[in-house]
Structure 1
Amino acid sequence: MSLWAVILAAGSGSRLASAGLSVRKQFLMHDGAPLFWRSLRTLSRLPELAGLVVVFPPEIFDESRALLRDLLAREPVGLPCLTAPGGARRQDSVASGLFALPGQASAVLVHDSARPFLTPDLAARLSDALARGSKAVIPGIALADTIKCVDADGRVTATPERANLRAVQTPQAFDLALLRAAHARAADEGWDVTDDAMLVERLGEPVLIIEGEPGNVKITNPEDLRLLGPKEEEVPAPVTGFGYDVHKFGPGRPFVLGTVPIPGAPEVVAHSDGDVLLHALMDAILGCLGEGDIGRLFPDTDAAFDNASSAILLDEVMELSRRKGFRVLHADVTVIAQVPKVGPHRERIREAVARLLGLSPERVNIKATTEEGLGFTGQKQGIKCVAVVTALPPGQGPRTNG
């Protein structure tokens, strides 16, 4: 099974627009990124997923596609991300997204970006149901309220049995050939539906409902916007780690700082590649985890780390943090040296460190200072660096990166 996801971000948000909101809901900023990005990032964590298609409003398609490219450049998700223009109706937008899927795709998750709070677990359970042989699977929630059917005058005509009713959510999972056939039939016969499962039902095919998630709510009305703000009981309690490292100048390793080579800088004496910035950063992350320091993980007595890339070592530290359930939120780094001058290279270093940490550059700060001729750094005998990292421990609010 080659599973892809189609994320619908083409709606006009008419209800919110009528309330005076000037931005379409899928482009509302949340946690430093537009709302549709949260769904994309969550679905990208599903191991079975082979790629994604994001469907954008046709009238702002080029701008939306450029925004997605910028987000992916800042935080790569490791999957192909295609785009498609939406249509007049939701089902038209889905059809456009299905048309954009590559030939090897055989199954699809269709998700509304207005439901930004889905979890990878929900997507995984839908995928598992497809793998077990179901061709159409949707999540649903049992209703707590009694439902009445009414006529045009508001008179009750029936009371359905509540035990047989479900409030349906997305993502919805389908065998791709089946869903394409359903959309083709809808186009030929002029069907107008509110979700893709209705199309499959009209073909006479069975649709399986699995347990949905109460938190997988849809942003529809102005009062729903409060869901985008933190609830008091969910405000995370971050932890902080401090790192410090020193290297002396002398014949040894070419000078790099945050993986960025600085021409004309003195060489450094080191066992690994001598990247003092990444060494301090790793110590700060390990401080958040309570895992000692880099000397414990990568001892300089081990020949395996001779001239080792600090970027690779940092990746191992980040993998350790992920296994322990921590999420790095912010890094603040100060380089202390008389030479070389860090200022001209600051932005390149910042961008490189942000990529290594999986953060946007706005969450990484790089500073530099001299010690005005004092001490060994002032006498140009070496360089040192301090780093402070903020991280979210496991169980502290919603997780939004790997």
Structure 2
Amino acid sequence: MPRTVALIVAAGRGHRIGGPLPKQYQTIGARSVLRHTLEQFLGHPAVEAVQVVIAARDRVLYDAQTSGLVLRRAAVGGPSRQRSVLNGLEALTDDPPDIVTIHDAARPLVSAETIARTVDAVAGSDVAGAVAGVPVTDTLKRLEGERVAGTVDRQGLWRAQTPQTFRFAPLLAAHRAVASLGDNEATALTDDVAVAERAGLEIAMIEGEERNFKITTEEDMARARRELAPRLETRTGTGFDVHAFGPGTAVTLGGIEVPHTQGLVGHSDADVALHALTDALLGAVAAGDIGQFFPPSDPQWRGAASARFLKHAADLVSREGGRIVNVDVTLICERPRIGPYRDQMRARIADILGIAVHRVGVKATTTEKLGFTGRGEGIAVQAAASVEMPVRDDDATG
């Protein structure tokens, strides 16, 4: 079986689409466009490894958005797409594959079937490459200035997509030859099939899918979000915690210090609000409870800031591909008064979780002097968290 490596081109800037980030790093649901694309190749039975090409300035962003994925070290792109692909190919020469399948990072809707068809077309024949594409169905007009000068025969015309799959050695040679001619020649060749054509390589056309479009405009991004939306689901977790009052002059609640005539008793800093919220996040991703990760019997957590516990839960959500939609905390106590500190708590929780303040709710109530909170013996907190998560392939569908 020929060894196949996927080469994902993610070095572009995407100036035709808005937003503070390049389009491949903008999010669809809980994951970036790039991560959606990578996950189509990772684990594909025809693909042994994945090599990504990125812009040098995007290294930190790339590392953050691909955390937890098993990838080759990213190569750095060049001044044109052709040079970026060549840099990616050169990164594979230490252990060259038999076949390389090249794909745009901005095509997150590529199917496993399309990937397999292009690889099989190369592995099972004597062609040098195969490209996915779709036949042109619209009527084509040729213009002179702003006037229609004629109709173009669309017979035999196809729109090329990616993946574009090749035998590694001849494609590498073709790219090296183009690079030796200078940047003008490289810029004129807008895909890898054009490079292969210039070298006289025989390329097969494999029918792709309309769904495998490239995100270029805001409208494309909106369409991709609609297409991928069914793959996401919202999960909810709840948490509850209680701490008794003890000696002290302040309590830690919601990550801030609140003056009081007593403190709270606990192994850590006894932040009952963050403990309940930590359990809510862990519950949303079915990851257990706070005691499993930070047992009170472990001396290393004595006096620890509960912000560490909450950050750990948030990181777990992120590693599972999730996004925190909102959190809500209700403190149940007679004293201290929560109102004057509510906004500080919301800001601190938002900072720990890396979400906007408007996604954090903090409120307080009493039990009308009933029970242990009514008698002023301690504080209880209930919390809820909503998390948007990708639907797993092994989830039951009913």
Q: TM-score if structure 1 supplies the norm length?
A: 0.58
Matches within 5 A, 1:16-35: 16=16, 26-27=22-23, 30-31=26-27
> Pairwise CA RMSD of aligned residues?
5.8
Given that 2:317 and 2:324 are in contact with CA atoms closer than 8 Å, whether structure 1 keeps it comes out as no
Q: Partners of 2:89 and 2:21 in 1: how far apart? A: 23
| 1:136 to 2:129 alignment | yes
Q: CA deviation at 1:349?
A: 6.6
**C-alpha deviations, 1:372-399, integer Å up to 9, x for none?**
796545745454331131547869xxxx
| 1:171 to 2:163 alignment | yes
Q: CA deviation at 1:30?
A: 4.7
SS at match of 2:109: coil
In the alignment, what sits opposite 2:220? 227
Q: CA deviation at 1:353?
A: 5.6
| 1:201 to 2:200 alignment | no
In the alignment, what sits opposite 1:54? 54
| 1:241 to 2:232 alignment | no
Q: CA deviation at 1:182?
A: 1.0
**C-alpha deviations, 1:245-270, integer Å up to 9, x for none?**
234559xxxxx999x9x9x973369x
Given that 2:130 and 2:203 are in contact with CA atoms closer than 8 Å, whether structure 1 keeps it comes out as yes
Q: Partners of 2:372 and 2:65 in 1: how far apart? A: 37
* Counterpart residue type for residue 189 of structure 2: V
In the alignment, what sits opposite 2:38? 43
**C-alpha deviations, 1:307-350, integer Å up to 9, x for none?**
89999x979x979xx8xxx96551414263779x9999988876
Given that 1:257 and 1:277 are in contact with CA atoms closer than 8 Å, whether structure 2 keeps it comes out as no
Q: CA deviation at 1:149?
A: 8.9
Q: CA deviation at 1:22?
A: 7.9
What is the number of residues matched between the two proteins?
A: 337
Given that 1:335 and 1:384 are in contact with CA atoms closer than 8 Å, whether structure 2 keeps it comes out as yes
Unmatched 5+ stretches in structure 1: 56-60, 251-255, 287-293, 355-360, 396-402
* Counterpart residue type for residue 33 of structure 2: R
Find the partner of 2:385 among 373, 383, 388.
Answer: 388
**Alpha-carbon spacing, 1:380–1:25, altered in 2? closer, same or farther (3 Å):** closer
**Alpha-carbon spacing, 1:126–1:383, altered in 2? closer, same or farther (3 Å):** farther
Q: CA deviation at 1:185?
A: 2.2
* Counterpart residue type for residue 39 of structure 1: L
SS at match of 1:218: coil
* Counterpart residue type for residue 137 of structure 1: A
**Alpha-carbon spacing, 1:210–1:281, altered in 2? closer, same or farther (3 Å):** same
Given that 1:43 and 1:123 are in contact with CA atoms closer than 8 Å, whether structure 2 keeps it comes out as no
* Counterpart residue type for residue 240 of structure 2: D
* Counterpart residue type for residue 278 of structure 1: T
* Counterpart residue type for residue 170 of structure 2: L
Given that 1:130 and 1:174 are in contact with CA atoms closer than 8 Å, whether structure 2 keeps it comes out as no
In the alignment, what sits opposite 1:182? 174
Q: Partners of 1:74 and 1:377 in 2: how far apart? A: 44
In the alignment, what sits opposite 2:109? 118
Find the partner of 1:10 among 9, 12, 17.
Answer: 12
In the alignment, what sits opposite 1:92? 83
Identity of aligned residues (%): 21
Given that 2:10 and 2:24 are in contact with CA atoms closer than 8 Å, whether structure 1 keeps it comes out as no
Q: CA deviation at 1:362?
A: 4.4
Q: TM-score if structure 2 supplies the norm length?
A: 0.58
Q: CA deviation at 1:7?
A: 1.6
Q: Partners of 1:336 and 1:105 in 2: how far apart? A: 60
Q: CA deviation at 1:244?
A: 3.5
* Counterpart residue type for residue 384 of structure 1: V
In the alignment, what sits opposite 1:267? 266
Q: Partners of 2:265 and 2:110 in 1: how far apart? A: 49
Matches within 5 A, 1:284-303: 284=284
In the alignment, what sits opposite 2:280? 280
**C-alpha deviations, 1:24-56, integer Å up to 9, x for none?**
9945985489x9x5134422452244342214x
* Counterpart residue type for residue 46 of structure 1: F
Q: Partners of 1:268 and 1:368 in 2: how far apart? A: 24
